[in-house]
Structure 1
Amino acid sequence: MSTKLATVAAVALIFAGCSNEPSPEAPADTGTSASATTDSETSGQSQAMRFSACMRENGVADFPDPDASGELTIDGVLNGSSLDASDPAWKQALAACKALQPSGFTGRKRTPSEQEPALRFAQCIRENGVEDFPDPTPDSPLIDTNRIPSANREGGMAALNAAMDQCRDLGDKARQGR
């Protein structure tokens, strides 16, 4: 399982990159100052950071920050952790931080303008050798290896990584919703 998590982390790092768009300043109460925000952060990554900070501030002390690409999914947070989605503190924090939830986490759907580039990215991945790559739904992560049967076969992650490298620009646009 740890090899799969390392592979997923590597996949996520493929999309860590620079953006020419300035990131919005984080509210002072999240513990993130504007000076700590770099030009390479996307608005989605910044939002995910604020969401993580909000969850911690509202009683889920072990809530992690998003990965280097800004991805933050409920499965990624809960799998292999001591966090419990049925815990009253979790539910209270989730309700308090609902407005900051990144798309694909839970309860937050991509807008139509965010979904369109996500679908273009999925098509590109299929055209570059991962034929079973599903279209992301508005409320799912952009990349969910649990929904890609070929990713669990020998060489599957290598094929996915190669396709993601070919579709990097579309993936960046999908994460930024443009």
Structure 2
Amino acid sequence: MREHGVKEFPDPDGEGRLTLRARPGSGLDPNSPTFKAAQEGCRKLMPQPGPAERERNRVASLKYSKCMRDHGLKAFPDPNPDGGMRIEMKPGSDMDPQNPKFQAAEEACKSLRPEGKGAVGGPITDGKPGA
């Protein structure tokens, strides 16, 4: 991702988890043309979970989504059938990661956040696990 222009893209931690804190206006904005192009260019390199891990991710993501909604983010989506999510970050709304309401819900639900190998440990920004 860095080679494709996303200079702030982090390395995974020692367990293979990737924490991606998306911020509009930064190089980590998943809606930016640079990020989208880099993501497409690197898609073949992304780890692909097996069926059992996808099901664990889906179940964990359902619990996380419910928790986020229970903590005031009514628009927080359920995962797709593979356990991945697409979260549309909307600056100035409840779905803005900089919004205190979003941050409070994320803090309350962090123990439920899917953390499988290659999973995103933070706001999930793409429709595929580990994106």
Using the size of structure 2 for normalisation, the TM-score is: 0.51
Match of 1:176, as an amino acid? Answer: G
The 1:132–1:71 alpha-carbon spacing in structure 2 relative to 1, beyond 3 Å, is same
Report Cα offsets for 1:9-66 as digits up to 9, x if no partner: xxxxxxxxxxxxxxxxxxxxxxxxxxxxxxxxxxxxxxxxxxx36xx3xxx3x24423
Asked if the contact 1:66/1:72 (under 8 Å) is kept, the reply is no
Partner of residue 130 from structure 1, selected from 60, 67, 73: 73
The structure that is helix-richer by fraction is 1
2-side partners of 1:84 and 1:164: how far apart? 25
Asked if the contact 2:77/2:85 (under 8 Å) is kept, the reply is no
Specify which structure has the bigger relative contact order, considering alpha-carbon pairs within 8 angstroms and separated by 6 or more residues.
Answer: 2
Larger radius of gyration: 1
Structure-1 residue corresponding to 2:115:
175
Asked if the contact 1:122/1:135 (under 8 Å) is kept, the reply is yes
Report Cα offsets for 1:87-111 as digits up to 9, x if no partner: xx986x43xx5142578xxxxxx81
Structure-1 residue corresponding to 2:29:
76
Identity of aligned residues (%): 18
Residue ranges of structure 2 left out of the alignment (5+ in a row): 13-17, 23-27, 120-131
Q: Give, in angstroms, the shift of residue 144 of structure 1.
A: 3.8
User: What is the alpha-carbon root mean square deviation over aligned residues?
Assistant: 4.1
Residues paired across the two proteins, number: 99
Using the size of structure 1 for normalisation, the TM-score is: 0.40
Partner of residue 85 from structure 2, selected from 114, 122, 140: 140
